[in-house]
C-alpha cells in the first residue's frame, strides 16, 4: 500500500466524511476541501441533523459525489454495507455526543452509523460539543469504549463555543484533523500497536526569561511524534517548551519554559507513562542568577555571566524509572563524530533508545525533514534516511512498540 492509503480504481484513496448535527458542521467544508484537493475521493455522509446546518447541495457540490443520510436511497447498491466495506478511512467531524453514544453502542439507525459498523478501515472521530457534555461520565465512557476498539478519538480543542461559552469542546482545526487523517491513511490497516498506552513526549527548546542560551529547535519533531502516536492509538501527553505551533489535536498539552519547569512536568506524569520520548532540546546551562527586571545597558562593561548546569532530565528518568518496563527514548544532536558520540551518550544516559542526528546549517532544526540513526541499548542501530519528520517518528514508535510488547 502506498503512503496515501489504498487506492480506488482511479488511483485515489477512498474517504468517508461523516458529519453529525452540531454547529461546527460548517467547518467540515474546509476539511472536505483539504481532502479533495490532496487527491482523495470523498463521499460525505451527513446525519439528518447535520443537514439542518449545511445542506446536501453544498456537500454534493464540494465532493462531486451524491449525498444521502438514510439507508433507503439507492437500496439496490446496498450503501449501508458497501460504503463502509470499500472505504480506506472514515472520518466523522464533528462527532457530537449523540454520535459518540450511537457509535459506542453499535446503533445503525442511519447511513452514517451503519457505515461505521461495516467499516474495517481506520476510523477517526473529531468530537465537538459543549464542555459539560464532553466532560459528562457517559460521554467519557463512550470515548473510552471507542478507543478500546481501535477508533482514534481526538480530544476537542479549547476555545469559543456556541453563544458566549468558552471551554473544551471546540472542534479541532480542520488542518489538524486533516493531518491526523493523512497519518491514519499512511498506516492503512496496520495494527494500532500503541492502543491503550500512555506516552509522554517533550518538544521544543527550554529557555530562561528575557535573554537565554538555546538553539533553533522548533518543536516540529516532537509534534510529529505526538501526531503519529495518536494515530497509532496512544494517549499522548505533550510537554512543549517555547513552541509556536498549533496545538496538536488529540494530545494533552503542557506548556513549559525552563529546564526546571520541564523536569517538574515530566516528573508529574512519569508514573503513568508506558514510554517517555525526550525530543526537546533542553539547555545544558542557565545563568546562576536571574534579574527580576531587564538589565539596562550602561557605559560600563557587563559583568561576566556565571552559568550553572541544568538538570539532566533524561539521565534522571532513565536511571530511576517511575514504573517497570517503561521505555525511554532520548534525542542527541551532534555536529561531528556523530555515531561515536551517540553511543557514548547512550551508555551515559541509560535510556533504551537514542535518536542521533547530525545538526548544522540546513539540517534538522526548524525543517520539515530529518534523518537519524536510532541506537539501542542492546547494540542495534536503525538507519532512518532523510524523509519527513512523521516518517522518523513512525520509525521511533516501531521500535518502542516492539519493546512494550515484550
The Cα–Cα gap between 217 and 357 comes to: 13
Instruction: Evaluate whether 14-187 and 198-404 have a shared fold.
Output: yes
Domain ranges across the chain? 14-187, 198-404
* Predicted confidence (pLDDT) at residue 81 exceeds the cutoff of 90: no
Task: Work out the mean pLDDT of the chain and round it to a whole number.
Answer: 88
Query: Which tens digits make up the pLDDT trace of 301-347?
Result: 777 877 878 889 999 999 999 998 999 999 998 878 888 999 999 99
Q: What does the pLDDT average to over 274-297? A: 80
**Is the model's pTM score more than 0.85?**
no
> Measured between alpha carbons, how far is 401 from 89 in angstroms, rounded to an integer?
23
Alpha carbons 52 and 384: distance in angstroms, whole number: 49
pLDDT-derived band at 275 (thresholds 50, 70, 90) equals very high
Record: fold of 14-187:
Rossmann fold (3.40.50)
pLDDT at 243 over 70: yes
CA distances from 372 to 143, 228, 369 (A): 36, 17, 10
pLDDT digits (tens, 9 = 90+) for 193-236: 998 899 999 999 888 665 566 666 789 999 999 999 998 889 99
Residue 215 bears catalytic tag: yes
Q: What is the pLDDT of residue 364?
A: 52
pLDDT band at 248; cut points 50, 70, 90: confident
Out of 104-113, 174-183, 311-320, 397-406, least confident range: 174-183
Residue pair 341/332 in contact by the 8 Å Cβ criterion: yes
pLDDT tens string 123-160: 999 999 999 999 999 999 999 999 999 899 998 988 88
Q: In the predicted model, what is the mean pLDDT of residues 87-106?
A: 97
Rounded to whole angstroms, how far apart are CA atoms 361 and 106? 54
Burial bucket for residue 89 (CB in 10 Å: 0-12, 13-18, 19+): buried
Lowest mean pLDDT among 33-47, 50-64, 207-221: 207-221
Integer distance in angstroms from the first to the last C-alpha of the chain?
28
Mean pLDDT lowest among 1-5, 67-71, 124-128, 194-198 = 1-5
The superfamily in CATH containing domain 198-404 is CoaB-like (3.40.50.10300)
- pLDDT, average across residues 367-378: 90
DSSP calls for 301-313: PPPPPPEEEPP-H
Out of 10, 142, 215, 341, the active site residue is 215
Q: What is the pLDDT of residue 5?
A: 44
Amino acid at each position: 500500500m502506498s503512503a496515501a492509503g489504498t487506492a480506488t480504481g482511479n488511483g485515489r484513496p477512498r474517504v468517508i466524511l461523516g458529519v453529525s448535527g452540531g454547529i461546527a458542521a460548517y467547518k467540515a467544508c474546509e476539511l472536505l476541501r483539504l481532502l479533495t484537493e490532496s487527491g482523495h475521493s470523498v463521499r460525505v455522509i451527513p446525519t439528518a441533523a447535520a443537514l439542518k446546518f449545511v445542506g446536501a447541495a453544498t456537500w454534493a457540490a464540494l465532493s462531486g459525489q451524491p449525498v444521502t443520510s438514510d439507508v433507503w436511497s439507492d437500496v439496490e447498491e446496498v450503501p449501508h454495507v458497501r460504503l463502509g466495506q470499500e472505504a480506506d478511512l472514515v472520518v466523522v467531524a464533528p462527532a457530537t455526543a449523540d454520535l459518540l453514544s450511537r457509535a459506542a453502542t453499535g446503533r445503525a439507525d442511519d447511513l452514517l452509523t451503519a457505515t461505521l459498523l461495516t467499516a474495517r478501515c481506520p476510523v477517526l472521530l473529531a468530537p465537538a460539543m459543549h464542555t459539560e457534555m464532553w466532560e459528562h461520565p457517559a460521554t467519557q465512557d463512550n470515548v473510552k469504549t471507542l478507543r478500546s476498539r481501535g477508533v482514534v478519538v481526538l480530544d476537542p480543542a479549547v476555545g469559543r463555543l456556541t453563544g458566549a461559552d468558552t471551554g473544551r469542546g471546540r472542534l479541532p482545526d480542520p488542518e489538524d484533523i486533516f493531518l491526523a487523517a493523512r497519518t491514519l491513511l499512511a498506516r492503512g490497516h496496520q495494527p494500532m500497536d500503541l492502543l491503550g498506552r500512555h506516552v509522554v513526549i517533550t518538544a521544543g527548546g527550554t529557555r530562561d526569561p528575557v535573554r537565554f542560551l538555546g538553539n533553533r529547535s522548533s518543536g516540529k519533531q516532537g509534534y510529529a511524534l505526538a501526531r503519529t502516536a495518536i494515530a497509532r492509538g496512544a494517549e499522548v501527553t505533550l510537554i512543549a517548551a517555547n513552541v509556536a505551533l498549533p496545538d496538536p489535536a488529540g494530545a494533552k498539552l503542557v506548556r513549559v519554559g525552563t529546564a526546571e519547569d520541564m523536569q517538574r512536568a515530566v516528573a508529574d506524569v512519569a508514573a503513568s507513562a508506558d514510554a517517555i520520548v525526550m525530543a526537546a532540546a533542553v539547555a545544558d546551562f542557565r545563568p546562576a542568577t536571574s534579574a527580576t527586571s531587564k538589565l539596562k545597558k550602561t557605559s560600563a562593561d557587563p559583568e561576566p555571566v556565571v552559568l550553572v548546569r541544568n538538570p539532566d532530565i533524561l539521565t534522571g528518568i532513565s536511571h530511576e524509572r517511575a514504573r517497570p518496563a517503561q521505555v525511554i527514548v532520548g534525542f542527541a544532536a551532534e555536529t561531528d563524530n556523530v555515531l561515536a558520540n551517540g553511543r557514548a551518550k547512550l551508555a551515559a544516559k541509560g535510556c533504551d533508545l537514542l535518536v542521533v542526528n547530525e545538526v548544522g546549517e540546513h539540517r534538522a532544526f526548524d525543517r520539515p525533514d530529518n534523518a537519524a540513526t536510532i541506537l539501542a541499548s542492546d547494540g542495534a542501530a536503525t538507519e532512518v534516511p532523510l524523509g519527513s519528520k512523521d516518517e522518523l517518528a513512525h520509525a521511533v514508535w516501531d521500535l518502542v512498540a516492539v519493546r512494550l510488547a515484550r
